[in-house]
Amino acid sequence: MAISQSVSVAVKNWKNWLQHEKRVSPHTFEAYVRDVDNFLHFVSLHAGETVSISTLENLKAADFRAYLADRKFEGLSATSLARLLSSIRSLFGKLEKDKILHNPTLKTIRSPKKPQRLPRPLSEPDSKALISALDQEQDWVAARDMAVVTLLYGAGLRISEVLSLNMADIPEGDTLKVIGKGNKERLVPILPVIRQSIACYLASCPFPLTGDDPLFVGKQGRRLNARSIQLTLQRLRRALGLPETATPHALRHSFATHLLQSGGDLRTIQELLGHVSLSTTQRYTDLDTEKLLNVYREAHPKS
């Protein structure tokens, strides 16, 4: 990939902005960086020159569409293509904000329509079975994983939000301040069982954690990564015969779905989850309707 020094510096600044100002999740960061690297490689071949700021500023709608068409030909789904476009827009938006370039053409490109996918939560019995299985294990790692899981299912946090917590964030009262996507702050209620799980974990943790230390650490004493929790749930769901969709994010979905089924208000659930748009939260009403329809189809004699 041939890019100029000015583009290289601009991309580096964009990466720092994503991590330290936007505070995107590690997964999102890796995906955006990978997408932009791929895009710049395509542009260098497509334009037949070293990619400069001027090259990017003069790209036409046909150039962006050619890139998306190329990736679609390689087999990318509409969801992946939409993310590619989001990554590119993020870079160009930052460059425009910094007055490095101005290319309004990108705003005319429509995102590919993504298929609507409903969340796939666990049932209440399956959620309880998962937590109960964790409770049977006695070491400090199991106590840590239990505390993480109770925050996912009991407070509806994203796994990235749980693992970004520091010791100073431990709530003294009944609410926890969470910094979510887009650096947006929200307060979530903390159940007694969550406080108890965190206290149990800290009492057994072999590392002296204080202040700005991460709340959840791995076996080397460094901040815990999401993969560790994913592997724990993978082991447990296979032992319990749960579906492969029983992931950390499914526990957040379960939190929202079970609240809604118990009469929770949609606006309140939106605030608890940290959704910017109510339409995102409304997917849970679609899920509830789908469940009712499935019961109807299976039970009604005329279905």
**4-17 per-residue burial string, b: 16 or more CB within 10 A, e: under 16:** beebeebbeebbeb
- Tokens at 83, concatenated: 């993310």
Cβ atoms of 183 and 20 closer than 8 Å: no
Catalytic residue among 94, 195, 252, 258: 252
Cβ atoms of 159 and 24 closer than 8 Å: no
Catalytic residue among 32, 153, 201, 284: 284
102: annotated active-site residue: no
- HSE-CB at 22 with a 13 A cutoff on CA atoms is 17
Catalytic residue among 181, 186, 283, 291: 181
Residue type, 177: K
Catalytic residue among 71, 144, 158, 195: 158
Sign of CA dihedral 183, 187, 191, 192: positive
Catalytic residue among 23, 120, 249, 291: 249
181: annotated active-site residue: yes
DSSP-derived secondary structure for 85-147: HHHHHHHHHHHHHTTS---GGGGGSPPPPPPP----PPPHHHHHHHHHHHHT--SHHHHHHHH
Task: Give the span between the Cα atoms of 149 and 127, in whole angstroms.
Answer: 10
Task: Give the span between the Cα atoms of 297 and 154, in whole angstroms.
Answer: 32
- Tokens at 279, concatenated: 């339409």
158: annotated active-site residue: yes
64 burial (CB, 10 Å; 0-12 / 13-18 / 19+) is buried
Task: Give the span between the Cα atoms of 250 and 266, in whole angstroms.
Answer: 18
Task: Give the span between the Cα atoms of 220 and 207, in whole angstroms.
Answer: 9
113: annotated active-site residue: no
Give the residue numbers annotated as catalytic, written as ranges: 158, 181, 249, 252, 275, 284
